[in-house]
Amino acid sequence: GENVEQHPSTLSVQEGDSAVIKCTYSDSASNYFPWYKQELGKRPQLIIDIRSNVGEKKDQRIAVTLNKTAKHFSLHITETQPEDSAVYFCAALQEGTYKYIFGTGTRLKVLA
Amino acid sequence: DADVTQTPRNRITKTGKRIMLECSQTKGHDRMYWYRQDPGLGLRLIYYSFDVKDINKGEISDGYSVSRQAQAKFSLSLESAIPNQTALYFCATSEWTGSSYNEQFFGPGTRLTVL
């Protein structure tokens, strides 16, 4: 069935360093790829998204890249800060069924 | 502010009991979803609905049922709760604008414990 693989499951970085989280999707019909941040005890919230007709999108310290041929997309966080510590989820929206398939999450820890 | 709300926020119940989790939204969105979150497994889709007359099973619908009472309300029921349904449950909404997909907005979650 449809699947989104996310790596790594945990990631520790020093404050100020960059963090990269990678996802691979299986359904080539997927055309919308959001990233959500979930702080401890809170609900997931969208931080950035990308559509299949775009290869890269940036929003301040956050960027997402998409490689449709390889069915990969990645989240890049630069100049990490302690408040970036959270669980991050990638997702892929299937065209046709309009189901969002989520990755298993990455726990990011930014060490001060 | 328009929002997605869930009741109850926490619930402890016993095996075999019937439980209903409720979700309401004031965003005016047509699409509503129920997910469960387990450590290390991410968010898994239970059921989703595109309008009052449209209900679809997700990847883990066994043991669950839903009701879309109105555009703004989507309830999840566990007919006979079992311990492995202990999880954090999220409701979410999204809007189809006719030309593009949009983000999902999540409720605050319901933590369910089945003893």
Collapsing DSSP to helix, strand or coil, A37 comes out as strand
Least confident of A36-40, A91-95, B97-101, B107-111: B97-101
Confidence of residue A92 (pLDDT cuts 50, 70, 90): very high
What is the maximal distance between C-alpha atoms in chain A? Answer: 45
CB proximity list for B105: less than 8 A, separation 6 or greater: B4, B25, B27, B29, B92, B93, B94
Mutation to test the A interface, candidates B88, B101, B111, most A Cβ within 10 Å? B101
**In chain B, which residue's Cα lies nearest the Cα of A33?**
B103
Residue B113 has pLDDT above 90, yes or no: yes
- The secondary element (H helix, E strand) that includes residue A55 is none
- For residue A72, what are the CA distances in angstroms to A48, A64, A101? 16, 11, 14
d(CA B3, CA B50): 18
Please name every residue paired with B70 in a beta bridge, in sequence order, or none if there are none. Answer: B73
pLDDT tens across B26-79, in order? 999 999 999 999 988 889 999 999 999 999 999 999 999 999 999 999 999 999
Contact B101 A102 (CB under 8 A): no
pLDDT tens across B8-25, in order? 999 999 999 999 999 999
Total beta-carbon pairs less than 8 A apart between chain A and chain B: 49
State the nearest Cα–Cα gap between A43 and chain B, in angstroms: 5
d(CA B89, CA B19): 13
Which is more confidently placed, A94 or A23? A23
Contact B43 A44 (CB under 8 A): yes
Please name every residue paired with A80 in a beta bridge, in sequence order, or none if there are none. Answer: none
